[in-house]
Amino acid sequence: MTTVRETPKALLIELEDGRQTWIQRRWMRADGTLTPAGQAAADKAVTKTQYAEAKQAERQAETDRRNELIDLGAPARSSDKAVAYHARVCEPQTGQVIARLAWFPKSMSPDAGSFPRWLIEAKAKDLGKDVIGGQNHFSVTIESIGNHFFGEDFQGFAVAPDNWGRD
């Protein structure tokens, strides 16, 4: 174990296997050995490669989740360049439910009726902000995929019944 760098309160040490970790200066004894707390910190140290691999795995999982295709089924309306699905926006304080059409560009659908999750979430967010007027707390249900809520800052929403918000 060697000391790579020092500060008034901490030491950057390199362990025998090449790992580097910061420990508190008080964890190093005068004879150069570690206290039990220092040894525990050194045992938990991970290599830079292990840390980078873990971060890359987290980023890849998030990318895969956002790019997941969700089948929205048959559209309510269609044009040459876009398809529309029935959506309902709920403002939680008043319980007001407003029905709108959510339009999706056909160019973003690799197969008919399926769109990436990130696009559905972005459309739901835009639709909710347009209808509710800029508030952060709302829910959006796209009728063809059932009771999945999209939007941001959801706090304890219950699953909506099948006739939710219908006139």
Residue pLDDT, tens place only, 144-158: 555 444 444 433 233
What does the alpha-carbon distance between residue 128 and residue 87 come to, in Å, rounded to a whole number? 10
Tell me, yes or no, whether 87 and 98 share the same domain.
Answer: yes
Residue 124 lies in a domain: yes
Report DSSP letters for 79-107, one per residue: -SSEEEEEEEEEETTTTEEEEEEEEEEGG
Which of 103 and 97 is assigned the larger pLDDT?
103
Give 28-71 pLDDT, tens digit per residue. Answer: 888 888 899 888 888 877 666 678 888 999 999 999 988 988 88
Taken as a whole, the chain contains a residue count of 167
pLDDT value for 45: 76
Residue 127 lies in a domain: yes
| Whether pLDDT at 74 is above 50 | yes
**Rounded percentage of the chain residues whose pLDDT exceeds 90:** 16
pLDDT value for 58: 94
Question: Tell me, what DSSP letter sits at residue 113?
Answer: T
Q: Which of 51-60, 90-99, 128-137 has the highest mean pLDDT?
A: 51-60
| Whether pLDDT at 167 is above 60 | no
Q: What is the mean pLDDT of the chain?
A: 77
Tell me, yes or no, whether 94 and 136 share the same domain.
Answer: yes
Tell me, yes or no, whether 16 and 48 share the same domain.
Answer: yes
Tell me, yes or no, whether 50 and 105 share the same domain.
Answer: no
3-class SS of residue 116:
strand
Q: Are 23 and 11 in contact (CB under 8 A)?
A: yes
Tell me, yes or no, whether 76 and 144 share the same domain.
Answer: yes
Tell me, yes or no, whether 31 and 92 share the same domain.
Answer: no
Q: Which of 7-11, 13-17, 74-78 has the highest mean pLDDT?
A: 7-11
pLDDT band at 136 (very low <50, low <70, confident <90, very high): low
Structure tokens at 87: 């959506």
Residue 49 lies in a domain: yes
Residue 106 lies in a domain: yes
Q: 């570690």: which residue's tokens?
A: 34
Domains held by the chain: number? 2
Tell me, yes or no, whether 96 and 37 share the same domain.
Answer: no
Which of 128 and 137 is assigned the larger pLDDT?
128
Tell me, yes or no, whether 78 and 61 share the same domain.
Answer: no
3-class SS of residue 45:
coil
Tell me, yes or no, whether 22 and 78 share the same domain.
Answer: no
Residue 32 lies in a domain: yes
Tell me, yes or no, whether 61 and 96 share the same domain.
Answer: no
**Rounded percentage of the chain residues whose pLDDT exceeds 70:** 75
What does the alpha-carbon distance between residue 44 and residue 42 come to, in Å, rounded to a whole number? 5
Residue 139 lies in a domain: yes
> By C-alpha distance, which of 21, 1, 103, 124 is closest to 10?
21
Domain ends where: 40, 67, 94? 67
What does the alpha-carbon distance between residue 40 and residue 24 come to, in Å, rounded to a whole number? 12
Q: Domain of 10?
A: 2-67
Q: Are 114 and 106 in contact (CB under 8 A)?
A: no
> Which residues partner with 141 through β-bridges?
88, 149
